[in-house]
Amino acid sequence: MKDNRIAAWVAASIIGPILAAFIIAPWLPPLHAQPFFANELRLAGAVSGSAPSVTAQGVDANISLALTPKGTGTVSFAAGGVASVTDRRLFIPAITHCRADSANITVVRIAANNWALRNTVAGIATYNINCKIPIPHRTTASKGIRIDGFSVVTQIVTDVLTSHTFVDLETVTYANNTANALADYGGVVTITLPTAVQALPYVTAGALATPVFMNTSQAEINIEWQAVTTATVVYTIYGVLVSYTEALY
């Protein structure tokens, strides 16, 4: 009986602390790590053909995920992946980025902070309108900016347009001592511009069949359409709204 008590004392006083110190302790988180939070990070593996995941989980309905480097370090992605943000919008005002092939289309101040282009001389006329989309690009494939859709913002009052026709969405590439190269952007573009009288500005959406990332050096994107006016129509151009995806690296 006495031997059993001695063995128990040795196990509790000597062997136990040794096991705790050298076998169990290395697998426990440090005290300052505070492993139990209302919101936590979950790392999960995946079967072949699927991607492992990093997921924010917890009691809150909406949980952001913060990646914070130390000191001057940065957060980077390994080569071969694609990281992008699709919820991007850009409004391109007509008074700065659009032109017409007629002196009758000029800048007008409709109200404070409400400016546009408008035909200031009544009469039957054909106007070709071109807008430059100031989207940056990168020369690496699948990088930079990809235009996913656009809308033309116009207004027609007093009378209807005879016609209102979309011409093209194209890239224009510039090179030294070389003719400018024009090419369709985004494949087939589907848009039906209005001709009826509109009491308020109208936003007409266009869809692109095959949008691609801009990776052509020294290039820009232009959009062009044509309006044929009747004798009394007042035609106003506010600008172009562009939705795009931006590759992050």
Contacts 24+ apart (CB under 8 A), 111-119: 116/155, 116/236, 116/237, 116/238, 116/239, 117/236, 117/237, 118/234, 118/235, 118/236, 118/237, 119/229, 119/233, 119/234, 119/235
What is the chain's pLDDT, residue by residue, as a tens digit (249 residues)?
A: 555 555 554 455 555 555 554 555 455 555 445 556 788 888 888 888 887 888 888 889 898 888 788 888 776 665 555 566 777 899 999 999 999 999 999 999 999 999 999 999 889 999 999 999 987 777 777 677 889 999 999 999 999 999 999 999 999 988 899 999 999 999 999 999 999 999 999 999 999 999 988 877 788 899 999 999 999 999 999 999 999 988 766
Structural domains in the chain, CATH included, are: 2-58 (no CATH), 84-247 (2.60.120)
